[in-house]
Amino acid sequence: MYQFTDDCLTGIETIDNEHRQLFKTINEISGILTDETKSADEVLQSAKDLMLTLKEYAVNHFTHEENYMREIHDPELLRQQREHAVFTEKVNSEDWERMDVSQGIRVLQDMMEYLSLWLYRHILSSDTLIGKMKAVHDNPVMLAFSDKYCTGIDLIDKEHMRLFEILADLNELNREEFLSDKYDAIVDVVEELKDYTVKHFQDEERYMESIQYEGLAVQRNLHQSFIDKMDNIDLSDVDENQQAYIDVLIDFLANWLINHIMKMDQRIPVKN
């Protein structure tokens, strides 16, 4: 089970408190499911009740969060709404009434496992960016690799530099006015970025393994959630206003990367 840690803080008090409460409830349900002092029937009943509370609380929380994002015109709103829907669907995917006791307990256990991982990844990789997105597409200097992005680990810095380069290429292409096959080229660069990101995460994880870094598991989770996000990019989706869509995409990718490097990668120790 995952816990609420300082890494999860968004700096927005009401949102942080609600996240804390969500983790607490998931852990409470998991605790009930392993309570041996109660009969299986009782266990299932109390776990199911609390599960309904969790569901309601989560739906309310998502509404609060989305309202907040709408108010501040956060460009990530759409992506967040899509992610929140995944949680709600998962919770609604089981028919609790028709389940027998042993099956029900197992299903609930798996679900709590899934939800705590989902929540942990979602908060770390999406919610911590709420209100912090900078318009990188307008400000390409942010994509110039500089000392403030350095980890001091040669291989990792070189690969981060390459990631910034690919993003800068993407941005430049998107600004291009007279290129007739601009969108084909953009699709190619996005593919290149995806492939290189996967390779980079593998290399970075291998390095962390080699020094037995205790933050490896968190990093793996974050990397996977970013790869999932990249896999969900669908450029064929957008016909109208493609340039604006790609602006938002570039901002998201760059902000995620910068945030990840400065919050997570810079903590990886340099091997000596």
Element (H, E) at 110: helix 101-125
Between 74 and 265, name the residue whose CB sits nearer to Fe ion. 265
Q: Is 74 in the site for Fe ion (CB under 5 A)?
A: no
3-state SS class at 215: coil
Between 103 and 202, name the residue whose CB sits nearer to Fe ion. 202
- Show the beta-strand stretches assigned E in the chain: none
DSSP states of 79-95 as a string? HHHHHHHHHHHHHTTS-
Question: Around Cβ 14, how many Cβ atoms within 10 Å?
Answer: 12
Between 57 and 245, name the residue whose CB sits nearer to Fe ion. 57
Binding window for Fe ion (CB under 5 A); candidates: 29-37, 63-71, 131-139, 241-249: 63-71
Q: Which residues between 233 and 252 bind Fe ion (CB under 5 A)?
A: none
Binding window for Fe ion (CB under 5 A); candidates: 57-65, 107-115, 169-177, 209-217: 57-65
Which single residue is written with the structure tokens 């803080």?
9
Which single residue is written with the structure tokens 């945030």?
259
Between 99 and 211, name the residue whose CB sits nearer to Fe ion. 211
Q: Exactly one of 74, 76, 127, 159 binds Fe ion (CB under 5 A); which one?
A: 127
- Let me know: does 60 contact 75? Beta carbons within 8 Å: no
Measured distance CA(204)–CA(191) in Å, rounded: 20
Site string for Fe ion, 193-232 (x = CB under 5 A): --------------------------x-------------
Q: Rounded to the nearest whole angstrom, what is the least distance from the CB of residue 147 to Fe ion in the complex?
A: 18
Report the amino acid identity of residue 215: G
Binding window for Fe ion (CB under 5 A); candidates: 47-55, 108-116, 145-153, 259-267: 259-267
Q: What is the DSSP letter of 270?
A: P
Number of residues that bind Fe ion (CB under 5 A): 5
Between 121 and 137, name the residue whose CB sits nearer to Fe ion. 121
Q: Rounded to the nearest whole angstrom, what is the least distance from the CB of residue 22 to Fe ion in the complex?
A: 8
Report the amino acid identity of residue 16: D
Between 15 and 29, name the residue whose CB sits nearer to Fe ion. 15
If we measure between CA atoms, which residue out of 62, 118, 72, 115 comes closest to residue 91?
115
Q: Rounded to the nearest whole angstrom, what is the least distance from the CB of residue 36 to Fe ion in the complex?
A: 33
- CA dist 125 to 10, 40, 70, Å? 11, 37, 19
Q: Exactly one of 74, 76, 159, 265 binds Fe ion (CB under 5 A); which one?
A: 265
Question: Around Cβ 249, how many Cβ atoms within 10 Å?
Answer: 21
What does the binding site for Fe ion look like in residue numbers (CB under 5 A)?
65, 80, 127, 219, 265
